[in-house]
Chains A and B, each alone.
Chain A
């Protein structure tokens, strides 16, 4: 994360953004673009597409900042949701599904590599190391629900698991993540 030239409180920043102040968007970009880009890249790994999605996200923030309500949550949470939803919308589009087939193949290669320990893809491990510290049964769910955009119901169906089990495990996973990420 880059250090901005001037530090603003979240409330000050929101005020600048709502008045469409370019300094506000400058600070926003410098502080949050990497986090937003990271989340987008988890859902949409192809860099060129992830960059398009990030551009969309900033346009959406600019257009919709007036609907941001600080009493309902932090600005960052609001932006993360926009980023994640935009990426997930994209990933459900037709074009992406084709590209995703290739990614799935790469992922399965990665899985094989990981099991045989013959080759380590540091980039993927870097991205996924926190979730990988979870038990397998938990990390699968976090990846599907948080990064794949599946609902808990869809996840249950896809994994052929009772919905109650999915809910319990998601909850357990979040508690563990909370302890892992400080």
Chain B
């Protein structure tokens, strides 16, 4: 949800959230709705995709560690 806003608005929102627990709670509650929404609309990817993704990740160089 937080990326429906501009960077400036987000910074203001985060600053307010850190000062006001009720605003933080509200943001979390909205995010929770979207999380539940995503869970409710889960779609299992094809079985072989996991292996593909893992070999792709292994090829990917870790930027720095």
Contacts and interface: CB of A to CB of B under 8 A. Distances in A.
Nearest to A60: B60
Contacts, number: 98
Interface in B44-65: 44-46, 49-50, 52-54, 56-57, 60, 62-63, 65
B41 A20 contact: no
Interface stretch (A32-40, A95-103, A112-120, A156-164): A32-40
Contacts of A77: 31, 34-35
A145 interface: yes
Q: Label chain A's interface by main secondary structure.
A: helix
Interface string A36-56: 111101100000000100110
B53 A73 contact: no
Nearest to B32: A178
B3 A177 contact: no
B3 to A, nearest CB: 6
Contacts of A62: 57, 60, 62
Nearest to B58: A22
A110 interface: no
A182 to B, nearest CB: 7
A181 B34 CA distance: 9
Nearest to A36: B38
Given A34-B45, A55-B52, A181 B63 contact: no
B43 A74 contact: no
A59 B60 contact: yes
A34 B36 contact: no
A86 interface: no
A55 B56 contact: yes
14 contacts: A1-B42, A29-B50, A33-B44, A35-B38, A37-B43, A59-B53, A59-B57, A62-B57, A62-B62, A73-B2, A80-B34, A127-B43, A130-B40, A178-B33
Interface of B: 1-4, 14, 28-46, 49-50, 52-54, 56-57, 60, 62-63, 65
Given A25-B57, A36-B38, A42-B41, 12 more contacts: A20-B62, A41-B43, A54-B45, A62-B62, A76-B38, A77-B34, A77-B35, A80-B34, A127-B41, A151-B4, A174-B1, A181-B36
